[in-house]
Structure formats: structure tokens, C-alpha cells
Amino acid sequence: MKPTLSVVIPAFNEERRLPARLEEIARYFGSRALSGEIIVVDDGSSDGTSAAAERAATTRPWIRLIRHPANRGKGGAVRTGFLEARADVVLVTDADHSTPIEEIEKLWPVLERG
């Protein structure tokens, strides 16, 4: 089944912040009975960013990890995530929780109007 929403998280050395962000988005999906996917693009991290995403994906198969072997910059990571997204609606967010996932509620009515 095609997901309703793809969330792309470009990540560079986000081992500490990523687990909480993934949990937050997973709770949001569950509270809205939303079919979604999270695409974490590890942009050449030197810490445990990929391992953190893999741990989260063990219980949530709709979390996908894509690794860049070397840092390509945020734009490169976002592009990779967009190209891998399966939903018609793609949201980009950071691991730092600068924008809570619930903010998408403000966008749904606009998206529904086309």
C-alpha cells in the first residue's frame, strides 16, 4: 500500500537526537492512523546515526535508512530522500525537533484543496 505521507530526515551525526525524533513521528502516525514512512538519509555520519535508525526500524518496518558513504550536504541528503519517497506528500524535517510533526496539521487543508 502506498503511504499517505513520506517524512524525510537528512541526518549528519544525529545519533543523540534521532531516536527521540523518530519516536515522536511514530507516535504521530499512530495517533492519526496515518500510513506513512520515514526515510532517514545518513549523510556520511561518523557517529552512530545509522545504528540509531536501524534500531528504530527493527520494530517499525516503515522506517527506512539510506546511507551516503560521504557527506554530500543537506541538499544532497534531501534530494536522495525525495527520490526514494513513495507518498505523494513528502515532508522534510530535521532531527533537532525545530518543527514538531504536528505542524503538518496546518498544511493538510491546503494540500486537500490542491
Phi, psi of 35 (to 5 degrees): -85, 120
Domain containing 84: what range?
A: 5-112
pLDDT given at position 34: 84
pLDDT at 114: 82
Task: Check which CATH number belongs to the domain holding 91 and give it.
Answer: 3.90.550.10
| 77 vs 44: CA distance, rounded Å | 10
> Into how many domains does the chain fold?
1
The CA radius of gyration of the chain, in Å to the nearest whole number, is 13
Q: Over the stretch 32-74, which tens digit does the pLDDT of each residue have? A: 988 999 999 999 999 999 999 999 999 999 999 999 999 999 9
Euclidean distance between CA atoms 48 and 45, whole angstroms: 8
User: Greatest CA separation found in the chain?
Assistant: 43
Grid look-up 500500500 returns 1
pTM: 0.94
